[in-house]
Chain A
Amino acid sequence: MTTVARDSRTVVDPAPPPAKPAAGPSRHRFRAVAGFAFGAALLFAVAPLVLSDFRLSLLAKYLCVAMVAIGIGLAWGRGGMLALGQGVFFGLGGYAMAMHLKLADAGPGNMPDFMLLYGQLDELPLWWRPFASPWFALPATVLLPMAVAFVLGSLVFRRRVRGAYFAILSQALAAAMVILLIGQQGTTGGTNGLTDIQGFFGYDLDDPVNQRMVYFIIAGTLLALLALARHLMQCRYGELLVAVRDGEERVRFLGYDPATVKLVAYVVAAGMAGLAGALFVPAVGIISPALIGIVPSIEFVIGVAVGGRATLLGPVLGAVAVAWARTALSERFPGGWTYLQGLLFVVVVAFLPGGLASLIGLARRGDGERWFGRLRRTRRTEGQAS
């Protein structure tokens, strides 16, 4: 690594040692608990009070996107793997959940409505059957994406495919999955996806009270995932992950296997995306190939980049902000909102590499760093793979 700045493409600063808390751990634990309590109050008390039912259901949708963002923040911000195929895992989780709910709606022994219309099948296809049981379907929403990520990741990371190669490969995977789903209309609903989901484990989703309940589950899950991500970032594994990002060879020379380190982050991120997809289904009532292709996969990542990729809260806030901006801009300017959306991506990513979080980080240098990381640290998330 060069240390002399000659032109813009030489990365200047060497990685600072992973930030060890300056203060004692107890103080930070207290601050973390306080932070989570504040977040919980905001999500559980303030939001339901100030937002209309409709806006609350939109917030539930944004929070699902935020869950995916936590995982991307871990894999990309901390691990340097630009996971551009998260739509696949989101979709696996979503379809697993939707398949179960569709079967539950249809009632035991019956087939989902769309299969009767398009499938011309006499009985339920074999691979649908296990999803009738919630004991299979619910774990599958998380484990299925994790298993796929494990297989893919262990192939790819062991062969040291990384950087742009990994990003483009992920996109190809997302594209392939969409084509595959669309081609099997009789059993997957094709482009329509699985729609018109009525019930959620016996609760009628049309009922606003139950929609609120779904929102609370989503908000609770989001906080739990945040806690998990914070733990992963702070324990020794998290330091190793950052070390792999900043110098994979060096970690290898130290006797660790970088492939395994990356694999863990990638698989965890996939699990989070799967869970998000699963909760998206009762919140929105639809899962379709339109949600898992290349475009949504890129949009997941952009939320993370806008918020601040290497931080804990940045991805969450970024994802919510981008999703909210999309809704708000398209309502205000239905004809030209894509200009503003595109402009937002360009400006933030190009001129504010640490994301919006770095603004707060700059404003609150000392303390902000703990939550939001430092600008120059986040500049180095690429793993220099060229």
Chain B
Amino acid sequence: MTLFRGRRILAGAMTLVAAAALAACGSKTTDEKVSAGVTADTSGDTVKVGLLNSLSGTMAISEVTVRDSIMLAIEEINTAGGVLGKKIQPVGEDGASDWPTFAEKAEKLIREDRVAAVFGCWTSASRKAVKPVFEKHKALLFYPVQYEGLEQSPYIFYTGATTNQQIVPGLDYLKAQGAKSLYLVGSDYVFPRTANKIIKAYAEANGMTVLGEEYAPLGSTEFGTITNKVKSSGADAVFNTLNGDSNVAFFKEYKSAGLTATSMPVVSVSIAEEEVKSIGTQYLEGQLTAWNYYQTTPGAANEKFVAAYKAKYGKDKPTSDPMEAAYVSVYLWKAMVEKAGTFEVEQVRKASDGITFEAPEGLVTVDGATQHIAKTARVGKVGPDGLITEVWNSGKPITPDPYLKSYPWAGGLS
């Protein structure tokens, strides 16, 4: 115990030092905001943008293709002369499927690389992790994936669908087809749980019954029990919000149980062409998906996009909704910057309202109030060739409504 005395003094000294540092450095004043944002470095003849996607870990299966399509858009813009006369220089970072890493890398892109905008993130958890970072530094994030709504950050542009552009139209379609009862299957995380809340409210208001609701842990590959429950429920349709890997296991189990697209159709909101390819048409043929874009969507803009993507990454590589939304996000940013005449974030935000772009999915318009974009909703059917063909669309772009304020049945949700 004799050895201890010296150390106790030492520990005491350390505490003192820490306390002194605290007193010297702490500033409680919040009226004088020190962090007025980091201005992007646009001094040279290039402008840097950040790409933040998971290149490793469980989410890499989806996010790598998004990175690819962002790169394609940047390349096209650079060939056409860049933005405001400056070539875009992409700075890539790996979010590693880990939310705190996303926050760290976002901070690095903003503060060290001083990028003009960041494109990326996939899961809601990664978006929630970086949101405070972008708000703190007043920097821009373009988020390209359909999500659960109930969010509206002034420093994020949401180029994927919000709930009233994907889930609600999907339900409208099911209702029109005469579905009276639903079974909800989802992964255990934010998007499915929130989506299912909306679905239940919709069902209640529209005379449909929800016979059951099951969640599988992320990455789960055992769907025996869920399939048994779904089968014995005898529901008219299944609404599927499973994520990534789990879809593969679910559909393999689904077919083994003798369930088919005719006996009990499944509407999925996270299965795009890329996922169809990894699950196999053997299991998916005839099943339904709700999106805003398919590789088969008609139009010259899409033909050009698909051709360019295949030319760059390979003939067997499909294009999908999140890839398209990511591709569009780069062009939308370019249009906003050009309208504002500067890369300065606040000016770019102000210029965003009403920007339109002839996207592969059709005409899209930025809604400045919500910073979402108006998109056309589509429901499609998986064909034997692995492509999804449209069976229904909303006819015109749907105005984004992330908080579902214009839907009376959604009153109690947010």
Contacts from A to B (Cβ < 8 Å): 25, 29, 32-33, 36, 40, 44, 52-54, 57-58, 61, 117-118, 120, 179, 182-183, 185, 190-193, 195-198, 202-204, 206-210, 212-213, 216-217, 219-221, 223-224, 227-228, 230-231, 234-235, 284-286, 288, 290-291, 327, 330-331, 334-335, 337-338
Q: Identify the closest chain A residue to B32 (Cβ).
A: A207
* B176 in the interface (beta carbon within 8 A): no
Interface of chain B: mostly helix, strand, loop or mixed: helix
Q: How far is the CA of A361 from the CA of B59 in the complex (A)?
A: 41
Taking CB atoms, residues of chain B closer than 8 Å to A208 are: 34-35
Partner of A224, one of B11, B28, B104, B128: B11
A-B contacts besides A120-B197, A208-B34, 12 pairs, CB < 8 Å: A29-B3, A54-B108, A182-B218, A191-B99, A191-B188, A192-B125, A195-B132, A196-B132, A203-B26, A221-B18, A231-B3, A284-B103
From 100 to 128 in chain B, residues with beta carbon under 8 angstroms from any chain A beta carbon are 100, 103-105, 107-108, 111-112, 123-125, 128
B94 touches A335 (CB 8 A): yes
CB distance from B351 to the nearest CB of A (A): 26
* B378 in the interface (beta carbon within 8 A): no
Q: How far is the CA of A383 from the CA of B169 in the complex (A)?
A: 62
Q: Identify the closest chain B residue to A291 (Cβ).
A: B100
Taking CB atoms, residues of chain A closer than 8 Å to B189 are: 182, 185, 190-192
Q: Identify the closest chain B residue to A207 (Cβ).
A: B34
Q: Identify the closest chain B residue to A30 (Cβ).
A: B6
* B406 in the interface (beta carbon within 8 A): no
B123 touches A191 (CB 8 A): yes
Taking CB atoms, residues of chain A closer than 8 Å to B98 are: 290
* B30 in the interface (beta carbon within 8 A): yes
Contacts from B to A (Cβ < 8 Å): 1-4, 6-7, 10-11, 14-15, 17-18, 21-22, 25-28, 30, 33-35, 55-56, 92-94, 96, 98-100, 103-105, 107-108, 111-112, 123-125, 128-129, 131-132, 136, 150, 188-190, 193-194, 197, 215, 217-218, 414
Taking CB atoms, residues of chain A closer than 8 Å to B30 are: 204, 207
Taking CB atoms, residues of chain A closer than 8 Å to B11 are: 224, 227-228
Most chain B beta-carbon neighbours within 10 Å: one of A25, A44, A198, A220:
A220
B125 touches A191 (CB 8 A): yes
A40 touches B17 (CB 8 A): yes
Q: How far is the CA of A207 from the CA of B194 in the complex (A)?
A: 33
B55 touches A191 (CB 8 A): no
Taking CB atoms, residues of chain B closer than 8 Å to A190 are: 125, 188-190, 193
B6 touches A29 (CB 8 A): yes
**Can you list 27 residue pairs at the A/B interface with Cβ under 8 Å?**
A36-B14, A40-B14, A54-B112, A58-B104, A183-B217, A185-B190, A190-B189, A191-B99, A191-B188, A192-B125, A192-B128, A192-B189, A203-B26, A203-B28, A206-B35, A208-B34, A212-B25, A216-B22, A219-B18, A221-B18, A224-B14, A227-B7, A227-B11, A284-B103, A330-B94, A335-B94, A337-B94
Q: A208-B34, A286-B129 in contact; A61/B6 too (CB < 8 A)?
A: no
Q: How far is the CA of A102 from the CA of B260 in the complex (A)?
A: 47
A335 touches B190 (CB 8 A): no
Taking CB atoms, residues of chain B closer than 8 Å to A204 are: 28, 30
Taking CB atoms, residues of chain B closer than 8 Å to A182 are: 188-189, 217-218
Taking CB atoms, residues of chain A closer than 8 Å to B197 are: 120
Q: Identify the closest chain A residue to B96 (Cβ).
A: A330
A195 touches B112 (CB 8 A): no
CB distance from A311 to the nearest CB of B (A): 17
Taking CB atoms, residues of chain A closer than 8 Å to B129 are: 192-193, 195, 286, 288
The 3 residue pairs across chains A and B that have the minimum distance between CB atoms: A220-B18, A216-B21, A191-B189
